[in-house]
Structure 1
Amino acid sequence: MTTRLLTCRLALALTFATTASAQMPPSIDGRIEQLKPGEYLWAPEIAPAGPVAVVVSLTTQKAYAYRNGVPIGVSTVSTGSDGHATPTGVFTVLQKDADHVSNVYKDAQMPFMQRLTWGGIAMHAGNLPGYPASHGCIRLPPAFAKLLFGITRLGITVVITQDARVPVVASTPGLLTSAGSTSGNFIWNPQLSPKGPVFIVVSGRDRRIVVLRNGIEIGSSGIAVDAAINRTSAFTLQSIDADGEHWLRLPLPGDPRSGELSAEDRAKS
């Protein structure tokens, strides 16, 4: 999905796009690129319901919000400064606190905090000077931080990447369709965590699949895969309908395949 398409989707259904003091420019093309520090775009009506995912690009200093695999918002951010780098990778929201006060940085106010690591990395409202300036957290414009806080829940996926590209729609990952149990031996205890978001981790090296719900392991099994797995990939399930499963590929640092699936990948799907 190109930045231009994201811009057009947002602009078509945009009802407002504000900062504390300014209205967004009326042009459609280039609107995302023209966002000034503290500005954002927000159009939740494009996808009123569904799972939420957030992608933060350290290169462009922007955060993209997706619901049901559809872009509903983009915001400028300020991430970690030199010596306090914001880590890249795939994270989940571990804790939410609308009135959080830091116990590390001299009682600093961190409104609408969404914790990503227990080591002090979080998304929260803060000052955006136009460049990386935090101690590793992802600072968001206060109004956007509040809006995002209102649609997320514990366990949602947050991807932090150096890649300037945004997620793209992908066919069913071949690994998920080809992974099958090598034997009848498996563990399945859904009662350990009856509700919450489900995450599936597939290890090609260990030939094993692990199912987590709310961060708690509820199942695991040995698997057989068709070919060697030589890189890490991440996907989020967008929806399931009469046409099947619809997946979104999430960009990971150093993954050259953060675009559409290759012909080879499609053949495995």
Structure 2
Amino acid sequence: MRFTACFLMALLVSTLARAELPFWGNKASDAAETAPAALPIGHFVWAPQVAPEGPIVVVVSLDEQIAYAYRNGVRIGYAKVSTGKKGYATPTGVFTTLQKDKDHHSKTYNNAPMPYTQRLTWDGVALHAGGVPDYPSSHGCVHLPSEFARLLFEASPLGMTVVVGNAHSAPVDVAHPAMLAPVDAHTGQPVETPKLAVAEESRWEPEKVPHGPVSLLLSGADRRLLVFRNGVEIGRSRIAVRDHGTRLGTHVYTVTGMQADGRPKWTAVGIPGHAGDANASLDPEQTRGVRIPDEFVLKLGPLLTPGATLLVTDAEILPHHTGSALTVLTDKAPEAAL
């Protein structure tokens, strides 16, 4: 009887402790087409269906106070964050996650809860759930909205690459990331992919990465189709949209099988803001107005096997800014400790 009473008391205390754990930020993802700059304080977008497999990398823009998650070379999520305040600057550079702890508490700051901790340095800098007031407020860590921190924690392997940068420490594509991963997921170094030359209709380089998951991005704004395999771009092509006023919308499709004529069967996947798309077939009317060069389609065909994904968007996917490329530096970590 005494054992039962003690057990129930321990269970009650444990339950109360969990109930008192702070929750920061929004509880659900905003619509997938929400622009990063338009995110309200504490909000985030999480659409892992865009690229279900492949190497993952996180880029934290100190200037924007936004963290971006990429998988297989494609952006799958982003969130408003809060980094180091004056005197506790978050270090810039390329890091890998050294430890993961779902229920971590600070050893330095009054046992403060730091849920979903992913340690970046041994002297205390980490990604974790925390207050996100829309300005730098931490002791050097990167505070994430609680639900985004959980989702990222569950999707991230130990040893994941994390790049932290600003306009003074990194190329402009890293300081202000776009839809495509601006850094290599394994090394954290900036990725430079040449634009198509004026007379160049397409580029096809499958030998770069012979194997791995395949993700396609089709942008109505840029008139481009890009192909990624295992996080590396292996092809891109110009496309034509029949009616310049045509809106393609934001949709994600995956190959679920092959049709009798050998063509892939594309099935829609529900994403935030478009849950009703789930299980719908690719609308022929939507594709009829988009022309992709026949030669490129023939080369791409063998890669379109079950599991390949396609993101269709009206948004720009290519970087459209210019600036001097700077070296990503690793500064001395601030004196913040877990």
Determine the structure 2 residue equivalent to 1:67: 71
Distance 2:47 2:32 in 1: 16
- Residue 148 of structure 2 aligns with an amino acid whose one-letter code is F
Determine the structure 2 residue equivalent to 1:19: 26
State the SS of the aligned residue for 1:143.
Answer: helix
State the SS of the aligned residue for 1:33.
Answer: helix
User: What does 1:29-178 align with in structure 2 at a 5 Å threshold?
Assistant: 31-163=35-167, 164-166=175-177, 168=180
Determine the structure 2 residue equivalent to 1:256: 324
Determine the structure 1 residue equivalent to 2:206: 242
- Residue 130 of structure 1 aligns with an amino acid whose one-letter code is D
1:118 Cα deviation after fit: 0.5
1:112 Cα deviation after fit: 0.1
User: Gaps spanning 5+ residues in structure 2: where?
Assistant: 1-24, 168-174, 193-204, 210-231, 235-322, 327-338
Distance 2:81 2:35 in 1: 16
Distance 2:134 2:181 in 1: 30
Distance 2:181 2:139 in 1: 33
State the SS of the aligned residue for 2:59.
Answer: strand
User: Gaps spanning 5+ residues in structure 1: where?
Assistant: 1-17, 174-196, 201-232, 249-254, 259-269
1:256 Cα deviation after fit: 2.7
- Residue 47 of structure 2 aligns with an amino acid whose one-letter code is A
State the SS of the aligned residue for 1:36.
Answer: coil
- Residue 325 of structure 2 aligns with an amino acid whose one-letter code is R
1:166 Cα deviation after fit: 1.3
For the structure 1 residues 157 and 41, does the alpha-carbon distance in structure 2 shift closer, same or farther, using more than 3 Å as the test? same
Alignment RMSD: 3.1
For the structure 1 residues 92 and 247, does the alpha-carbon distance in structure 2 shift closer, same or farther, using more than 3 Å as the test? farther
1:152 Cα deviation after fit: 0.5
User: What does 1:158-237 align with in structure 2 at a 5 Å threshold?
Assistant: 158-163=162-167, 164-166=175-177, 168=180, 233-234=189-190
**Greater RCO, CA 8 A, separation 6+:** 2
Distance 1:75 1:137 in 2: 15
Greater per-residue strand proportion: 1
For the structure 1 residues 257 and 74, does the alpha-carbon distance in structure 2 shift closer, same or farther, using more than 3 Å as the test? same
* Contact preservation (8 Å) 1:235, 1:247: no
Distance 2:32 2:128 in 1: 29
Distance 1:99 1:169 in 2: 30
TM-score by length of 2: 0.46
* Contact preservation (8 Å) 1:128, 1:141: yes
- Per-residue CA deviation, residues 228-250 of structure 1 (Å, 9 max, x unaligned), is xxxxx5459xxxx83424369xx
Distance 2:61 2:81 in 1: 9
Identity of aligned residues (%): 47
Determine the structure 1 residue equivalent to 2:15: none
1:70 Cα deviation after fit: 0.7
Distance 2:155 2:181 in 1: 22
1:90 Cα deviation after fit: 0.3
Distance 1:199 1:165 in 2: 19
Distance 2:181 2:145 in 1: 28
* Contact preservation (8 Å) 2:125, 2:141: yes
Distance 1:198 1:90 in 2: 10
For the structure 1 residues 244 and 77, does the alpha-carbon distance in structure 2 shift closer, same or farther, using more than 3 Å as the test? same
State the SS of the aligned residue for 1:85.
Answer: coil
1:58 Cα deviation after fit: 0.3
For the structure 1 residues 48 and 131, does the alpha-carbon distance in structure 2 shift closer, same or farther, using more than 3 Å as the test? same
Distance 2:109 2:55 in 1: 32
Larger radius of gyration: 2
- Per-residue CA deviation, residues 42-61 of structure 1 (Å, 9 max, x unaligned), is 10000000111000000000
Distance 1:139 1:23 in 2: 17
Distance 2:78 2:58 in 1: 9
For the structure 1 residues 19 and 51, does the alpha-carbon distance in structure 2 shift closer, same or farther, using more than 3 Å as the test? same
- Residue 244 of structure 1 aligns with an amino acid whose one-letter code is K
- Residue 166 of structure 1 aligns with an amino acid whose one-letter code is P
For the structure 1 residues 115 and 244, does the alpha-carbon distance in structure 2 shift closer, same or farther, using more than 3 Å as the test? same
- Per-residue CA deviation, residues 114-134 of structure 1 (Å, 9 max, x unaligned), is 000001100000111111000
